[in-house]
Structure 1
Amino acid sequence: MNTDPCVHCGFCLPTCASYRVLGTEMDSPRGRIYTLKAIANGELSLDATVAKHFDSCLGCLACVTACPSGVRYDQLIEATRPQLNAPELRSSAQQAFRKLLFALLPYPARLRALLTPLRLYAGTPLQALARRSGITRLFGPQLEALDQLLPPLAPAGFRDDFPLVVPAQGPRRARVGLVLGCVQRLFDPAVNQAAVQVLSANGIEVVIPPSQGCCGAVTHHQGELSQTNELAIGLIQSFEAVVGPGKPAGAGPLDAVLVAASGCGHTMKAYGRLTGSSFSAPVADIQEFLADLGLSQPFLAALQPLTHADGEPASAKRPLRLAYQDACHMLHGQGISSQPRALLNAIPHIQLREATEAGVCCGSAGIYNLVQPEEAAALGQLKAKDLAGTGAELAVSANIGCSLQIRRHLQELPQPVPVLHPMQLLAQSYSG
Structure 2
Amino acid sequence: MSLPSIAASGSPGAAAPGAGFIAADPCVHCGFCLPTCASYRVLATEMDSPRGRIHALKAIDAGELVLDATVAKHFDSCLGCFACVTACPAGVRYDQLIETMRPRLNAPELRSPAQRVFRRLIFALLPYPQRLRALLAPLRAYAGTPLQALARRSGLTRLFGPQVAAMEKLLPPLPEQAFRDDWPVLVPARGPRRRRVGLVLGCVQRVFEPGVNAAAIRVLAANGIEVVIPPDQGCCGAMTHHQGELAQTRELATALMSSFEAVIGPGKAAGPEPLEALLVAASGCGHTMKSYGEILGSRHPLLGRVADIQEFLDEVGLSDSFQAALRPLPHGDGTAASAERPLELAYHDACHQLHGQGLAAQPRRLLGRIPHVRIREATEAGVCCGSAGIYNLMQPEEAAELGRIKAADLSGTGAALAVSANIGCTLQIRQAMEGQARPLPVLHPIELLDRSYGGPA
Q: TM-score range by the shorter chain?
A: over 0.9
Q: In the TM superposition, what is the alpha-carbon distance from 1:201 to its structure 2 partner?
A: 0.4
Which residue of 2 is the match for residue 122 of structure 1?
143
> Identity over the aligned pairs, expressed in percent?
74
Q: What residue in structure 1 maps to residue 337 of structure 2?
A: 314
Q: Is the contact between residue 82 and residue 94 of structure 2 (CA under 8 Å) also seen in structure 1?
A: yes
Cα distance in structure 2, aligned partners of 1:22 and 1:95? 23
CA distance in 2, matches of 1:353, 1:287: 19
The count of corresponding residues between Structure 1 and Structure 2 is: 432
Gaps of 5+ in 2: 1-18
The alpha carbon displacement at 1:73 in A equals 0.5
Separation in structure 2 between the aligned mates of residue 43 and residue 412 of structure 1, nearest angstrom? 45
1:86 paired residue number: 107
Are the counterparts in 2 of residues 244 and 250 from structure 1 also a CA contact under 8 Å?
Answer: yes
TM-score by length of 2: 0.94
Is 1:296–2:309 an aligned residue pair? no
1:169 matched to 2:190? The reply is: yes
Write the letter of the residue equivalent to 1:285. D
Amino acid at match of 1:366: G
- Offset of residue 154 of structure 1: 1.1
Instruction: Work out the CA distance in 2 between the residues paired with 1:140 and 1:277.
Output: 42
Q: 3-state SS of the aligned residue for 1:157?
A: helix
Give the C-alpha shift of residue 376 in structure 1: 0.2
User: 1:188-208: CA deviations, max 9, x gaps?
Assistant: 000000000000000000000
Q: Could you say what secondary structure the match of 1:186 adopts?
A: helix
| Alpha-carbon distance in 1 for matches of 2:298, 2:88 | 31
- Given that residues 263 and 269 in structure 2 are in contact (C-alpha distance below 8 angstroms), is that contact kept between their aligned partners in structure 1? yes
- 1:411 offset after TM fit, Å? 2.4
Identify which of 335, 342, 360 aligns with 2:358: 335
Alpha-carbon RMSD across the aligned residues, in angstroms, is: 0.8
Distance 1:172 1:385 in 2: 43
Structure 1 segments (4+ residues) deviating >4 Å: none
Note if 1:273 corresponds to 2:294. Answer: yes
Superposed CA deviations along residues 369-398 of structure 1, whole A, max 9, x for unmatched, are 000000000000000000001001000000
CA apart distance, 1:278:
4.4
Q: Which amino acid in the other structure matches residue 300 of structure 1?
A: Q
**Does structure 2 retain, via aligned residues, the 8 Å contact 1:174–1:203?**
yes
2:126 is equivalent to residue 134 of structure 1? no
Residues 292-313 of structure 1, C-alpha deviations (whole Å, 9 max, x = no match): 0001110000000000111111
Amino acid at match of 1:339: Q
Match of 1:49 among 65, 70, 88: 70
8 Å Cα contact 2:418/2:442 also seen in 1: yes
Match of residue 10 from structure 1: 31
Q: Unaligned regions of 5+ residues in structure 1, if any? A: none
AA of the residue aligned to 2:94? Y
Aligned-partner SS, 2:355: helix
Mapped partners of 1:369, 1:216: distance in 2: 18
SS in 1 for 2:166: helix
TM-score w.r.t. the length of structure 1 is 0.99
Aligned equivalent of 2:223: 202
Asked whether the 8 Å contact 1:165–1:208 carries over to 2, the reply is yes
Q: Are 2:186 and 2:269, in contact at CA under 8 Å, matched by a contact in 1?
A: no
In the alignment, does 2:239 pair up with 1:190? Answer: no
Q: Is contact 1:64–1:71 with CA below 8 Å preserved after alignment?
A: yes
For 1:216, the equivalent position in structure 2 comes to 237
Q: Deviations over 1:261-314 (max 9, x none)?
A: 000000001011011134431100000000000011100000000001111111
How much has 1:244 moved relative to structure 2? 1.3
CA contact (8 A) 1:233 1:277 kept: no
Aligned to 1:412: 435
Deviation per residue, 1:6-36 (Å, 9 max, x gap): 0000110000000000000000000000000
SS at match of 1:334: coil
Q: 1:356 maps to what in 2?
A: 379
**Equivalent of residue 368 in structure 1, options 387, 391, 407:** 391
What residue in structure 1 maps to residue 401 of structure 2? 378
| d(CA) in 2 for partners of 1:180, 1:278 | 22
Counterpart of 1:423 in structure 2 is 446
- Structure number with the bigger relative contact order (C-alpha 8 A, sep ≥ 6) is 2
1:257 partner SS: strand
Quick check: 244-253 or 418-427, which moved more? 244-253
Deviation at 1:248, TM superposition (A): 1.2
